[in-house]
Amino acid sequence: MAPILDVTDLRTVFHAEGKTIPAVDGVSFHIDKGETLCLVGESGSGKSVTSLSVMRLIPPPGEYAGGKILFEGEDLLRKTEKEMCAIRGNRIAMIYQEPMTSLNPLFTVGMQLRETLRKHQRLSAREAQARAVEMLGLVGIPDPGQRIREFPWQMSGGMRQRVMIAMGLCCRPRLLIADEPTTALDVTIQAQILDLMRRLKRELDMTILFITHDLGVVAEMADRVAVMYAGRIVEEAPVRVLFAKPRHPYTRGLMDCIPDPGRPRGQLHVISGVVPAPDRYPTGCRFHPRCPYARPLCAEEAPPMRKLGASSAACHFPLGTEAAS
Ligand code: SF4
């Protein structure tokens, strides 16, 4: 089966102060129909620029410097802006971390849902109203016929995120890109929203690209995981394989950072240092200044992506192999 989204060697750069800064630097991944791929990594690793690149929403001074983004076999990098407008919202939808940055506080949620439906689906006012109420019900908003008249600021954070999901799904997109959609929510609401997304994925037969820095969310949501670091994918694996046998030291480091109630107090693991800025990537393996397993070769040569059973990892000395010992 051909993947619904197939990204190959994507390069997205920004131009600033006479420099060309590679925010996404040769990223390749695919998502099969009906699958949830989680793109995981620390802030600044290039996850959001990757998702915005797929939507072709990179503003100047950013530009696409190479690669292909095949969505249902069509290269999105070759589409005109008019063609992309017909794809965004309709065939690919995106939901964001903070609903208040996407919902207009001056209009009721009903007006905003109807506007989206009329623009993308050319529904009549009556049809759009009926579909908007149906969508609010589908995402678990009680009494949707009433609440459709409310403004976003009259709703709680969890309800606003449900409205955002309704907006994203109202045109029944084939691919949903969810960029940290639960990060701003408290844990109980987060669990409800993740449950909701899993249910809607099943009911609407959706494919999801889920961006997160939270490995707990990855364990809940992912079929497969791509780990991103400093503008590149460094490991990719089915979720069970990744958690059972991480191959890249960065993935291992992220897992060690998950709080463990069994660990004595004061022993929270951290990965030393920070993700380098895109204009200061180190030579060789970009993780080498922070890697506890680094050897001289790591600073000299960038490791290629290598297949290791069900996983792939870009590391000269992948964990669990003879090379690491
Ligand atoms: Fe660590 Fe070297 Fe592997 Fe990079 S290539 S992750 S520095 S062991």
Q: Are 31 and 174 in contact (CB under 8 A)?
A: no
Phi/psi at 112 (5° precision): -70, -40
Identify the domain containing residue 110 by its residue range: 100-172
**Domain closes at, from 112, 146, 172:** 172
Distance from the alpha carbon of residue 233 to the mean position of ligand 1, in angstroms: 13
Indicate if ligand 1 lies below 6 Å from the C-beta of 317.
yes
C-beta pairs of 133-141 under 8 Å, 24+ apart in sequence = 135/166, 135/169, 135/170, 136/109, 136/162, 136/163, 136/166, 138/166, 138/169, 138/200, 138/203, 139/163, 139/165, 139/166, 139/169, 139/196, 139/200, 140/192, 140/196, 141/166
Q: pLDDT digit of tens for each residue in the chain (325 aa)? A: 679 999 999 999 999 888 889 999 999 999 999 999 999 999 889 999 999 999 999 988 889 999 999 999 999 999 999 999 999 988 999 988 776 677 888 999 999 999 888 888 888 888 999 999 988 988 888 999 999 999 999 998 888 888 888 888 888 899 999 998 887 777 888 888 888 888 888 888 899 999 998 898 999 999 999 999 999 999 999 999 999 999 999 999 999 887 777 766 666 777 888 889 888 999 999 999 999 999 999 999 999 999 999 999 999 999 988 777 7
Do 75 and 48 reside in the same domain of the chain? yes
Angle 313-51-279 from CA coordinates, rounded to 5°: 70
Indicate if ligand 1 lies below 6 Å from the C-beta of 249.
yes
Distance from the alpha carbon of residue 275 to the mean position of ligand 1, in angstroms: 14
Q: Ligand 1: which residue has its CA nearest to atom 7?
A: 288
Entry pTM: 0.90
Do 161 and 217 reside in the same domain of the chain? no
Distance from the alpha carbon of residue 203 to the mean position of ligand 1, in angstroms: 42
Distance from the alpha carbon of residue 89 to the mean position of ligand 1, in angstroms: 40
Do 156 and 181 reside in the same domain of the chain? no
Specify the number of domains making up the chain. Answer: 2
Do 69 and 114 reside in the same domain of the chain? no
Do 137 and 82 reside in the same domain of the chain? no
Do 293 and 154 reside in the same domain of the chain? no
**Domain closes at, from 172, 195, 228:** 172
Question: Which of 56, 44, 5, 49 has its CA nearest to residue 28?
Answer: 5
Indicate if ligand 1 lies below 6 Å from the C-beta of 288.
yes
Do 161 and 17 reside in the same domain of the chain? no
Do 292 and 263 reside in the same domain of the chain? yes
